[in-house]
Amino acid sequence: MLDSQNLGEIDELKSQIQQLKTNEENFQQITENIKEVFFIIDSQTDEICYVSPAYEKVWGRSCKSLYESPQSWLLAIHPDDCSEAMGTLETQFRTGEEFQEEYRIIRPDNSICWVRVRAFPVRNLEEKVDRFVGIAEDITLRKNTETALRQTEEHFRLIFEQASIGIAVTNLSGKFLKVNPAFCQMLAYSEPDLFASTFKNILQVGDDKIHRKIIDRLIQFRQVEDQLEVCCQTKSQEIIDVLLKIVVIYDEFDQPINLQYQLIDITDRKRMEQQLVYDALHDPLTELPNRVLFTDRLMRAIIRCKARNDYCYAVLFLDIDRFKVVNDGLGHLAGDELLILVTKRLLKVLRPIDTIARFGGDEFVILLDEDCDRQTAIQIADKLQCSLDNHFEIEGNRIFVSISIGITLSTNQYERPEDILRDADATMYKAKDKGRARYEVFDESLRAAALNRLKLENELRTGLLQNQFCLFYQPIIDVESLEIKGFEALVRWFHPVHGMVSPSDFIPVAEETGLIIALGEMIFEMACQQLTDWHQEQFDLSHLKLSINLSGKQLMDPHLLGVINRVMSRPNIGSQRIKLEITESILLEQDYQAINVLNNLRESGFEISLDDFGTGYSSLSYLQRLPIDTLKIDRSFIQKIQHDVQNKNLAIVQSIITLSHAIGLNVIAEGVETQEQLDKLATLGCEFVQGYFFSPPVDSVRASEFLRKRIIEM
């Protein structure tokens, strides 16, 4: 029998066995649930005694396969790492020391896994190593992260070193810690130069304070970056414009530690921007301010005038007289050179505080600033005109020019620049109307006239839409037979309120606004319709010519020939029935395109008549070069021959008639009002006349009565 002592020992042994089972269960739970591989290696045989289940996930192989082939875990080591790993194991197993190793293993699916192996020797009672206990950890993610970090650092280094923009790192006080080559090159400093300095020292005075405020604001509000445009000074003292980006670098505790600066040289861009602004505000030919800049300065003057009782200014609107003659005669390059030379002379007259601008073409506008009363404005206008007294030498030609000037003085009534410019422009045209080469000062009557002109323009547009126009006809008479050889078609406007409006009032407005194109087309339509009506009434039109006036703007209209062809397409209307009248001034003021158009019309069968001859500056000798068939002597010559004691005007008229006949032109004398005038014209051989002596312009009914009789009864 077992005594109580033996029973106690048995119970103790059972307790120890149970504790061992518990410890074994705990060990198994730990090893089976940790993600690291736990292993035990026999130090004598180098074989695996135990490996935890995590082995299957890390090595990708079953634990069973390892027990069956204890060296298989070594065979999985990557060939590039195998030699070093095996050498470490051999050394450490021989010496019995703790070891640690990192190497790659190749899983059965050929994927790569990095592991870190740590092993510790376990000694027996005799202090000999009989096994190693270790842990193998999957460090693939860490290795990949380290690789990516190294690549990122290398990438950043390459970017930093090779970047075309300047990059620098400083401490919070601005002391340079790192700079890239582009930064040094941009500022012409070496690295040692910069490391001995601070960022503040390369900024222009004023910009350094702005840059410091931005840094303080970024740090205060925990912001990362901002950018601004500043000026930097290079080592050679050159000032360059840069776009500066400031980045605050924070540590892991969200505390600012460094500053990164990125610099882009924008000097060329800034210069280009400045040039674009300059170009937008200046005339490219003369380099004077243009309309935009001038209007801005004039607006400032208007505001100052309202704010200060002692401030006054004046605006002068200038136009070069007969500039088109120079431009067309010598060419646009010569015209441009003349504008430049005129500009230089005008500038010599003006004060530094004044502004002269070119508005385009040959128009200049001057702002006489500060204390410029009426007398001062007139004195400067006189000097401006005198500055052009001497001739200009251009391409071997002597050119004399003059200017017409409109002067407008400041008042508190002006609110907008366009108002005062409008008045100055109107005043300049008044100076031109009075003979050019002079100045005029604006008065309220001009504004009233301008308003009336605007009102007339609006009513003229309405009149065209509502067909308020009709034609009157003045007969053209054969001097010998007194037979009607034609009519001149003259437009009349019957205003619903004002009645008959004089052509001298509305024709200039139609010319200026371009409405003459629509009006001219309407006149041509009505004239041709009248010829159609007369044909249907069976009037004898075989020797009849209907004269229709063409304005300069019509002659230069590219659609003119198309309009005429369309109107002439109606039955029984031929070009031989129509004579087109142009004024002498058209040929003086228009370019060669006008003559080409006339040639085309003449080739189409139209006769061309030159109206108002003698009022221009042309000579008789140039007539043979013009595509004309008939010459109309202006009424001013005819009216003077009756009381011409010295017979000067009679001699002029006789010369015109004689030369016209010599070059094959018919002659019509306008404005015949007396029998004496008719008799003298008959004596001089003038074949056709027109005037109130025979009939004023009459409506279509009265003109039809003339046609029935064919001969004017005196």
Tell me: the pLDDT tens digits for 447-458?
A: 787 788 889 999
- Tell me, what's the pLDDT at 327? 87
Of the candidates 213, 236, 271, which is a domain's last residue?
Answer: 271
Give counts: helices (H), strands (E), the chain: 26, 26
Q: Determine the average pLDDT of the residues in 244-255.
A: 92
Is 93 found in the same domain as 187?
no
Among 604, 576, 599, 605, residue whose Cα is nearest residue 587: 599
* Percent of all residues in the chain with a pLDDT value above 70, rounded to a whole number: 92
Q: Does residue 713 surpass a pLDDT of 80?
A: no
- Same domain? For 135 and 214 the reply is no
**Cβ-based burial of 136 (10 A; exposed 0-12, middle 13-18, buried ≥19):** buried
218/290 Cα distance (integer angstroms): 44
For the cut 80, the answer to whether the pLDDT of residue 601 exceeds it is: yes
DSSP string, 488-531: EEEEEEEETTTEEEPHHHHHHHHHHHTTHHHHHHHHHHHHHHHH
pLDDT given at position 587: 64
Q: Output the pLDDT for position 679.
A: 93
In a domain, 7, yes or no: no
Q: Are residues 368 and 431 in the same domain?
A: yes
Q: Of 139, 174, 201, at which residue does a domain stop?
A: 139
Quote the mean pLDDT of the chain.
Answer: 88
Q: Is the pLDDT of residue 207 over 70?
A: yes
Instruction: Identify the pLDDT of residue 588.
Output: 57
Average pLDDT over residues 270-287: 94
Q: Is the pLDDT of residue 29 over 70?
A: no
- Strand ranges (DSSP E) for 307-412? 314-320, 355-360, 363-368, 392-394, 397-399, 403-409
Classified as helix, coil or strand, 630 is strand
Q: Tokens representing 611?
A: 């109206």
Residues 38 and 117 in one domain: yes
The range of the structural domain enclosing residue 48 comes to: 31-139
User: Is residue 171 in some structural domain?
Assistant: yes
Q: Show the tokens assigned to 405.
A: 């000037």
Give me the mean pLDDT over the 93-117 stretch: 88
Task: Confirm whether 85 is domain-assigned.
Answer: yes
Residue 151 confidence (pLDDT) above 70: yes
The verdict on residue 298 lying in a domain is yes
Q: Return the closest-CA partner of residue 203 out of 187, 190, 215, 214.
A: 187
663 assigned to some structural domain: yes
Residue 475 predicted with pLDDT over 90: yes
Residue 468 sits in the same domain as residue 423: no
Span 675-694, average pLDDT: 94
In terms of pLDDT, which residue wins out, 117 or 126? 117
For the cut 80, the answer to whether the pLDDT of residue 229 exceeds it is yes
Strands 166-171 and 176-179: antiparallel
| The pLDDT value given to residue 44 | 76
Q: Could you read off the pLDDT of 574-592 as tens digits, one per residue? A: 889 999 999 876 665 555 6
Q: Identify which of 420, 401, 266, 250 has the alpha carbon closest to the alpha carbon of residue 320.
A: 401
Q: What token pair was written down for 629?
A: 């068939």
Cβ(391)–Cβ(400) below 8 Å? yes
State the first-to-last Cα distance of the chain, in angstroms, to the nearest integer: 184
Nearest-angstrom CA–CA distance, 4 and 382: 147
Residue 289 and residue 257 share a domain:
no
Cα gap 270→243, rounded to integer Å: 10
Range in 118-127, 167-176, 373-382, 679-688 with the lowest mean pLDDT: 118-127
Phi, psi of 399 (to 5 degrees): -125, 125
- Is the domain of 264 the same as that of 358? no
What one-character DSSP code corresponds to residue 655? Answer: H
Q: Is 19 part of any domain?
A: no
Q: How many CB atoms neighbour CB 168 within 10 A?
A: 23
CATH number for 554: 3.20.20.450
Domain count, the chain: 4
- Domain end marker among 271, 304, 321: 271
SS3 389: coil
Residue 617 is predicted with a pLDDT of 47
Lowest mean pLDDT among 549-558, 671-680, 684-693: 549-558
265 and 291 inside one domain: no
**Statement: residue 32 has pLDDT above 70:** no
Q: What is the pLDDT of residue 573?
A: 78
CATH number at residue 185: 3.30.450.20
pLDDT higher at 14 or 347? 347
Q: H-helix or E-strand containing 49?
A: strand 48-51
Are 264 and 304 in a shared domain? no
The average pLDDT across 316-340 equals: 92
pLDDT for residue 348: 96
Residues 253 and 296 in one domain: no
Tokens of 56: 């299957």
Burial of 297 from C-beta contacts in 10 A (0-12 / 13-18 / 19+) = middle
Residue 27, pLDDT > 70, answer no
Judge whether 459 lies within some domain: no
CATH code for the domain in which residue 334 is found: 3.30.70.270
10: confidence class by pLDDT, cuts 50, 70, 90: low
| Residues 530 and 655 occupy one common structural domain | yes
Residues 57, 190: one domain? Answer: no
Q: Is there a domain that residue 458 lies in? A: no
Q: Over 70: is that where the pLDDT of 472 sits?
A: yes
pLDDT tens digits, 629-662:
999 998 988 988 877 666 778 888 998 899 899 8
Average pLDDT over residues 32-58: 83
